[in-house]
Structure 1
Amino acid sequence: MTPEILASQIESQNFDYYLKQMMDKVPDDIDKRQGSIIYDALAPAAMLMANQSLTMGMLIREAYIKTADNEFLDYRAVEHGTSRQQATFAEVKAKFLDSKGNPIGNVEIGDRFASLGDDPIFYKVKSINDDLTGILEAEEVGVRSNSYLGQILPVTPNDELSWSEIIEVIVPARDAETDDHLRERLLASDSWIAYGGNISDYLDMLSKISTVGGAQVYPVWNGGGTVKLVIIDNDLRAASTELLTQVKNEIDPPDSPGLGYGLAPIDHMVTVVAPEEVTIDVSVDIQVDVQSDIEVVKPKIIEAINDYFLLKRQSWHNLNKLTGRGYSLVIYRSQILGEVMKVDGVVDSSVPLLNSAEEDISMIFNNQLSQLPVVGEVVING
C-alpha cells in the first residue's frame, strides 16, 4: 500500500461514513431520521471526525517526498542537506550617453532606471565599468527581466544623460524552483557522497550558486590537482565573462589559486569556462492538411524545434546514466521529425536536415572542448 492509497482510504471516511457507523449502534426502535434527537446529537461528531480524516490524509501525504508539497517539501529538503532554489535577480549591462552620443561618467552606484512599457522593470546600478558602461541589477526576481533589451529611462535625475539602453543580459535570473523539480532532485539516485572535492562535491557547490543554470565537471583535465568547470547560465546558454568571473571568485579566487580560500579544496586548481555554442540549422519539407494555412503552421513548427533544443540543453549537464561518468548529447533528426509531426495541421514531413546534412549531430565533450547546441536558421518548405 502506498501513502497515496492510504491517504485516499482515510479521506474516504467522510461524514456519511462516520454517521452510519454510529447510527448502526443505535437500536432500531429509536427514531434515527434526520431531525431526530439522536441524529442531531451524532451529526456534529460525525462532521468533526470527517474533518479529522481529511487532516490525517494530508499529514500522510506531507510526510513523504513523493507526495509532499510547498513548505512541507521544503522541510524534507532541509533534512536531505539541500533547499529549494530561490528566484534570483537578473544582471544587465547598460550604456549611458550624452546628447552627442558620448559615454557619460556621472552615473553612480545606486541610481535607478526603468524599462519602457505599462509594467516597467526597475533596475539599480550595481557597478560602473572602465568603459563607463554599467552593471545593473533588476529589482524584481524571476525570468521576466531576462527578455528585456533596449531603452531604459532614468528614475534618478541626471541632467547629462540623453540616452540609456540595456545592451546585454550578462547574468540571467531564474524563477523559484518548482515542487516537481525539487522533488526530482531529492529522489534522484546518487551513489556518491559529495565530499572532499569529488565530482559530486563540485556539482553540489555549483548547485548552490544561484546564477549557474548547469555545469559539467572535468577532473584532472590538465594534470594532477586540476579541475575544469564548464557552466551555463539560467537561460541555459553559454555563461558570460562576468558570470565566469563571479563563479571563479567563489570556487577558487584567481589571486590565490589552489590555496583553499574559495569553495574548492586546497591544492585544487580550478578553471571555469563556458561551453562552445554549436549553431545547428534545421531544414524540413512538410505537408499540411487542406484546412490549415502553412504560414500559420510554420511558427508552431519553429516553436516545437526550439523547445526540443531547450530540452536537450536542460539535460546537457547530466552524467551518463549507464556509467555515471562523462557526458553525452546527440541532436537526433528522428526526434526533431517527431516534434514536427506533433504540430497541428502537419500531415507529413521529411526527415529534417541538420546543417544541410543527413546526419545526426553529436556534441563533443572532452578535456579540451564542451559543446552546447543552439538553434540556428530554421527553413520550412511546403
Structure 2
Amino acid sequence: MYEDQTFDVILQRMLSRVPETMDKRESSPIYAALAPAAVELTSMYIAFDCMLAETFGDTASREYLIRLCADRGITPKKATQAVLELETDVEVTDGKRFTGGENTYIVTAPGQVTCEQIGTVGNEYTGDVLPIEYISGLTTAKIARVLIYGEAEESTESLRQRYFESFEERAFSGNVKDYRNKTLALAGVGAVKVIRTWNGPGTVKLVILDSAHGKATDTLISAVQKEFDPNGDGMGDGLAPIGHVVTVETVKESVVNIATNIIFDSGYGLNECKALIEDAIKKYILSLRQDWENQNHLIVRIASLDAAIMGVKGVLDVTGTTINESTKNLELTEYEIPVMGVVTYGE
C-alpha cells in the first residue's frame, strides 16, 4: 500500500515545501536536516505496510496468523508421535525401549510401541528392532506396521485455510462441523465423514481415514471412539454431547488392478519407465483418497489413468487401459476408497 513512499519521494515532497529562495542543494543545511527525517519516515511507511499485512488472515505471517486464529478458538495442530505394532517372541512389559533405524521406541501397550521422535519420522521405519536394555528370553523383535501415523506440525497454509473456514459455518456442540473439527484435531486422523441419525435419533457415525488417507487401523478407531463416546452409551463421557451415541468406523478398500498397453518413445522402454509409471498411478489414486471427504463417492477414471501415464517422460501413447478387467470407470460407494493393486502391461 505504501510502496511508492520511497526515500526520494518523501524527501522531494519535504523540499518542495521549502521556499525557492533558500538553498536546497545536497550540501545545504536544509537538505542535511531533512534527509535523516526522510529516512525515518521511509522506515515508518515500511512498518505500516508490514503491520497492515499482519492484520489480515490472507497475508499474516505464521506468528500473527496464530494470534488471529486464537480469536476464533483455533490453535495449530501440534506434531504427534507414531504408534506402531511390535511383534516379539516373548511378552514385553510397558516402558521397555527399543531402537531401530534412527529412531527409538517405547512400549505403551501389549504389542504396541510409540516412537519417541515426534513427527513423520516415526512412520518411516519397519523391520527389526533391538532392545536398549536386556529383556529375558527375547530373541526376535520387529516393527510390523504403523497403527497411528505420526504427523508434522500443521503447516501455515493449512492453518490459514481452517481460519477462513471458521467464517463459513458455525461450529457448536453436536453439529456436523463440530464433530468434523474435533475428529480432525485427533492425532492420526486425516479425513472424516459424519453420518447423522444413521441408526435412529441420537446416533452419530464417524467414518474416518488415517493421516495417510488410507483405511484406519483398529487401534486408531478405538482411540477415536474413546475420545468421543468411550462406552458407546451416549452418557457424555467423551467429546460427544449427552444423548449422542457415537460409533466410529473406517472405509472399505477397493483394489484397483490396471492393465494397459504403452507405446514408448525412442530410447525408452518398460524397464526405464515402469517405476515412474506406477508412481504416477499411485499419485493419482492417492489424490482421489485425499478428496474422499469432499465427494459423495469416488470414481477411478480410465481417462485420468491414461493422463497420469502420459505424463511420464518416454511414454508416447497409451491404449486399451482397463480397470479390474473392465473398460468402464470404477465407481465406488460413499464409504469406499481405491488402493493400488497390480499393473500389467500388454505387448
TM-score, normalised with respect to structure 2: 0.91
1: CA distance, partners of 2:30 / 2:136: 83
Question: Over residues 170-223 of structure 1, what are the superposed CA-to-partner deviations in whole Å (9 max), with x where a residue is unaligned?
Answer: 111111221222222222387543334232221122122122111111112222
CA displacement, residues 301-331 of structure 1 (integer Å, 9 cap, x when unaligned): 222211111111111112x5xxxxxx22211
Q: Is 1:337–1:351's contact at 8 Å kept on the other side of the alignment?
A: no
CA shift, 1:375, in A, is 1.2
1:176 is the counterpart of 2:153: yes
Task: State the Cα deviation string for residues 14-35 of structure 1 (Å, max 9, x = none).
Answer: 33332333343445662523x6
* 1:106-125 equivalence runs, <5 A: 107-116=92-101, 120-125=102-107
1:275 is displaced (CA, Å) by: 0.6
Q: 1:242 aligns with which of 219, 223, 231?
A: 219
Post-superposition offset of 1:283: 2.5
How far is 1:40 from its partner? 4.0
Do 2:213 and 2:289's aligned partners in 1 also have CA atoms closer than 8 Å? yes
Query: Who is 1:150 aligned against?
Result: 127
Q: In 1, Cα distance between the equivalents of 2:329 and 2:306?
A: 12
Q: Retained in 2: the 8 A contact 1:142–1:173?
A: yes
Query: 1:226, 1:268 within 8 Å by CA — same for their partners in 2?
Result: yes
CA distance in 2 between partners of 1:189 and 1:250 (Å): 23
How many residues end up aligned between the 2 structures? 346
Distance, in Å, in 1 between the alignment partners of 2:343 and 2:46 is: 53
Q: 1:53 to 1:259 in 2, by over 3 A?
A: same
Alpha-carbon distance in structure 1 between the residues aligned to 2:14 and 2:271: 68
Q: How does 1:1-382 map to 2 (within 5 A)?
A: 6=1, 10-26=2-18, 30=23, 32-33=25-26, 37-96=29-88, 103-105=89-91, 107-116=92-101, 120-127=102-109, 129=110, 133=111, 135-158=112-135, 160-188=137-165, 192-254=169-231, 257-318=233-294, 327-350=296-319, 352-365=321-334, 370-381=335-346
Q: Is the 8 A contact 2:80 2:150 kept in 1?
A: yes
Contact map agreement 1:334 1:351 (CA 8 A) in 2: no
1:108 CA displacement: 3.3
Rate the CA distance shift 1:16–1:356 in 2: closer, same or farther, 3 A: farther
Find the aligned partners of 1:125 and 1:83 in 2 and give their Cα distance.
30
- The residue identity in structure 2 corresponding to 1:342 is G
Contact 1:122 1:138 in 2 (8 A): yes
- What TM-score, normalized to structure 1? 0.83
User: Which sections of structure 1, spanning at least 5 residues, go unmatched?
Assistant: 1-5, 97-102, 321-326
In structure 2, runs of 5+ residues without a counterpart are: none
Counterpart secondary structure, 2:161: helix
With 274-283 and 350-359 compared, the bigger mean Cα shift is at 350-359
- The 1:245/1:27 distance shift into structure 2, 3 A limit, reads same
State the 1:246 CA deviation.
0.9
Q: Which amino acid aligns with 2:61?
A: D
Distance 1:301 1:188, change over 3 A: farther
* CA distance in structure 1 between the partners assigned to 2:9 and 2:228 by the alignment: 60
Q: d(CA) in 1 for partners of 2:76 and 2:108? A: 26
Percent sequence identity over matched residues?
31
Please, what is the CA RMSD of the aligned residues?
2.3
Conserved 8 A contact 2:15-2:24 = no
